[in-house]
Amino acid sequence: MIEPDGLGSAKSTLLKCCSSVSEIKAIIDELSRIEWEPLVEESEIRKEDNLLVCTLCNRLYEKPSYVSPKNEGRCYQCDCKYGYEQMRVSSHISRATKNKVVATLTVDEWMDTIDYFRWQCAYCESGPFETLDHYIPMILGGGTTKNNCVPACAPCNRRKNATPPNDVSFLSPAKLTYIKNYLHQF
């Protein structure tokens, strides 16, 4: 069993029990398919404790004195992230509408996308994302849709600019395939 004392011990445990990288990848793939149970069962929470379970991160949080109807059961940290991403999506929807391209991306779809890429840049995966990037640039007809938007860091977003994905020189074919596979599943 992998002890929850950090990523280092998890890696060393995997290396001890697996004889090849393909075995490790198979284990990681299998773990990603598991629907994990919430950290705390709702039945364990007493109403008088004034505690709720966050619908995004499954952590317990104390019920605030005022809950906005738009909150939908999120802890303060998740609600802040969600609110910020809601503004980001809204501004891109407005921009797409103004440029007369498809604009159907929802905040929940965008949250799924950034979760898929682990809140990292989809292009370099070396740091946190900072922008919503249109994989097929808006100027080339790419809309603000779930199958065209990916998270990007500012340097990658600037380097890609309005270049079609297949012409971007800093992306390897493997990276392009990885991103395309995600986007084309919708």
Cβ-contact 101, 141 below 8 angstroms: yes
State pLDDT tens for residues 120-166: 999 999 989 999 999 999 999 999 999 999 999 999 999 999 999 88
For the chain, give the mean pLDDT: 82
Rounded to an integer, the average pLDDT of 103-122 is 94
Q: Identify the pLDDT of residue 1.
A: 41
The pTM score is 0.66
- 69 compared with 97, residue with greater pLDDT: 97
Query: What pLDDT was estimated at residue 76?
Result: 82
pLDDT in tens, 161-181: 999 988 999 999 999 999 999
